[in-house]
Amino acid sequence: MRKLQWFALLSVCGLSTLLFADQVVLNNGDRLTGTITKSDGKTLVIKTEFAGEVTIQWPAIQSLTSATPLHVATAAKTVVGPVTTTDGTLAVNTSQSGTVDVPRAQVTALRDDKEQAAYEKSLHPNLLQGWVGGANVGFALTAGNSETENLALAFTADRKTSHDEIVLYTNTIYATNNAPGAVPGVTANATQGGARYDRNLTKRLFAFGGADFQTDALQNLNLRSVLGGGLGYHLINTSRTTLDFLGGVNYTKEDYIGLDRNFAALTLGEELMHKMGASTVVMEKLYFYPGLSDSDSGEYRAAFNLGTITKISKWLGWQNAFGDIYVTNPPVGKRTNDLQLTTGINVAFTH
């Protein structure tokens, strides 16, 4: 008799669990029970007791039922309540308007209360939240027949929201030849840094403003300061690929040893980011700065950067970077091109 009582109790508990759990039925008849956490209209995530989080392709779902409220978002509105599906429609049992039918094809997102809170917070993060980036370190040392030291450091940080973006960067390369009698002793000593702010005007169009600074001891450049702004256009803007074109004006101040120059110039550029597979990101930038004044007619500066980051783990990666800065009118005795190639470990961060 006691065994029958225990069996009945367990049966009731199991039935209660099913009654108060979310369920997803697939087109092949399989059924998953757990807690629906989110969907982006392409996939749906359900947290199950034994398999953990399971991601399901949205077209593979025949029907779903939620025991707890879900936030059902479309392009026009968001309704909240327990959800059931019938004939391609999500019936949302709201507390204020009763049952609201939402065509399944119009659903852009499903979120439970926790995911909805995180989403709303992401729309208005404080200035210290939402940053991603990394630091790159490379070092080389030789001794014996040659005595050299090479150090390359770089840092990037990016904070992107639904309406704006802040980008910070800096990099430096320093190299010496310590062999007796070697001239020059310092073979590279250059630093770059800057910041840019983008503000979305429409889905495609954005305004930008920024400042860039550079020093290069071997080119006798004490400091180049560039302040500028303009408009940009997202030609491609997906999770895997972005391609932007930018145009504007800038004011450049150059302080060389024995030479100072101040002038206005155009800013014309393009930026590309593409994710190759699951682990590698390729980034490319090309900028052209033609002078605007009569004295600078035909003079320009151009900058090209190409880099890759390959993930080794969640926070560790391998980074390669190539840069070329071309100046049509360098100081007397200096070359027009400055090339940089660095490689090393990248340590990523997220805040």
User: What is the full DSSP assignment across 291-309?
Assistant: B-SGGGTT-EEEEEEEEEE
Query: Concatenated DSSP letters for 104-173?
Result: GGG--EEE-HHHHHHHHHHHS--TTSSEEEEEEEEEEEE-SS--EEEEEEEEEEEEE-SSEEEEEEEEEE
- Between the alpha carbon of residue 330 and those of residues 33, 324, 334, 336, the distances in Å are 69, 14, 6, 6
Residue-wise pLDDT tens digits, 303-333: 999 999 999 988 899 988 888 889 888 877 7
CA distance 218 to 188: 7
Q: What is the pLDDT of residue 296?
A: 61
Rounded Cα distance between 129 and 127, Å, is: 6
Structure confidence at residue 21 (pLDDT): 84
Residue 20 pLDDT: 55
> Residue 51: its pLDDT value, please?
81
Torsion of CA 83, 84, 86, 89, to 10 degrees: 10
Q: Is 10 helix (H, G, I), strand (E, B) or coil?
A: helix
Quick one: tokens of 344? Answer: 């090393």
Q: What is the pLDDT of residue 187?
A: 81
Helices assigned H by DSSP within the chain: 2-19, 113-123
Quick one: pLDDT at residue 343? 84
What pLDDT score was predicted for residue 137?
A: 86
pLDDT for 321 equals 87
Amino acid 8: pLDDT: 42
131-350, CATH topology level: Porin (2.40.160)
Residues of the chain whose pLDDT is less than 50? 1, 3-19
pLDDT score recorded for residue 332:
78
Give φ, ψ of 102 to 5 degrees: -120, 115
Q: What is the pLDDT of residue 6?
A: 43
Q: Phi and psi at residue 260, in whole multiples of 5°?
A: -120, 140
Kindly list the domain boundaries of the chain, sorted by start residue.
Answer: 2-123, 131-350
